[in-house]
Amino acid sequence: MHNLTSDLALALKVADAADAVSLPGFNARSFTVERKADKSEVTEIDRATETAITNILREERPEHSVFGEEHGIVGPSDAKFQWVIDPIDGTSNFVRGVPVWASLIALVENNIPVLGVVSAPALQMRWWAHLDGGAFYNSQPIRVSNIETLAQASLSITATRSWDKTGATASLAKLQNDVSRVRGYGDFWQHMLVAQGVVDIAIDNIGLAPYDIAALVPIVQEAGGKFSDRFGAQDWRANSLITSNNLLHDATLAYLPK
């Protein structure tokens, strides 16, 4: 099996380089904001951060490809290994001055995410994991919770209009009534809180892309948790994401219309 230790060291180096671009840009508050074709926001900092990440990966791993949100696929199209990058997850937060945003860096081997780094420099938080290596938050090992019932569970949900369009609003309202506590931490953060064991279930909005999900998967799984789309498929290329401590996953999916 491929040794992921050196790849993790590289991913952490790349995260440092990303932070060195994104955090000063965030603090300066002087960037331009544009709307992409899908109406989502993008800043010059997004693009500069992805460039910084891609340049290092292409230099250090020329045989690998890089798939990023802003620049698409760079490098060999038939590569066994692909780095999947979201330079700034939570751009809307970034634009408004909310510190909940992160660079997501994943390594995918033969279509399986085997390594993930999530770096949130404005929060001074970083999570990482690789296959069979455990999951970590700011260098400390992390593990999901052992909450077994929805009545005791803490839920984070991004209840956007995307769910309304599927007819799920009433079901999600019932779920929110049936759990112990509901918050909306949003984006990457809610899933990392599941991995840390301080939130038990996280339900994202519908309309995600692979680069929103890939880096989160190894961290949640190595912490003992479970991920799937809203239909229960464990597909990092799906457009929805639910993470949990594993014990509550099936019970959560039962609320969602199929």
Exposed, middle or buried by CB within 10 Å (0-12, 13-18, 19+), for 71? middle
How crowded is residue 24: how many other Cβ atoms within 10 Å of its Cβ? 11
pLDDT category, 41, cuts 50, 70, 90? low
pLDDT tens figures, 88-102? 999 889 989 999 999
Q: How far apart are CA 181 and CA 220, in angstroms?
A: 21
* pLDDT confidence tier of residue 77, bands split at 50, 70 and 90: confident
Q: Where are the beta strands (DSSP E) in the chain?
A: 33-35, 41-43, 65-68, 72-74, 81-89, 102-109, 112-120, 125-130, 135-137, 140-141, 154-157, 181-183, 201-203, 226-228, 242-244
What's the whole-number average pLDDT of the chain? 93
Helices (H) and strands (E) in the chain, counts: 9, 15
pLDDT tens digit string along 102-125?
999 999 999 999 999 999 999 999
φ, ψ (nearest 5 deg) of residue 137:
-130, 120
Q: Which amino acid is at 240?
A: S
The domain over range 150-253 is classified in CATH as 3.40.190.80: yes
Q: Would you give the distance in Å from CA 174 to the centre of its chain?
A: 26
Q: Where are the domains of the chain?
A: 5-133, 150-253
Sign of the CA dihedral running 54, 81, 207, 256: negative
119: DSSP letter: E
Token representation of residue 115: 């390594």
**166-223 pLDDT tens trace:** 888 889 999 999 999 999 998 999 999 999 999 999 999 999 999 999 999 999 999 9
Read off the pTM: 0.95
Question: Is 115 buried (19+), middle (13-18) or exposed (0-12) by CB count in 10 A?
Answer: buried
Residue of 125, 101, 113 whose CA lies nearest to 27 = 101
5-133 CATH fold: Fructose-1,6-Bisphosphatase; Chain A, domain 1 (3.30.540)
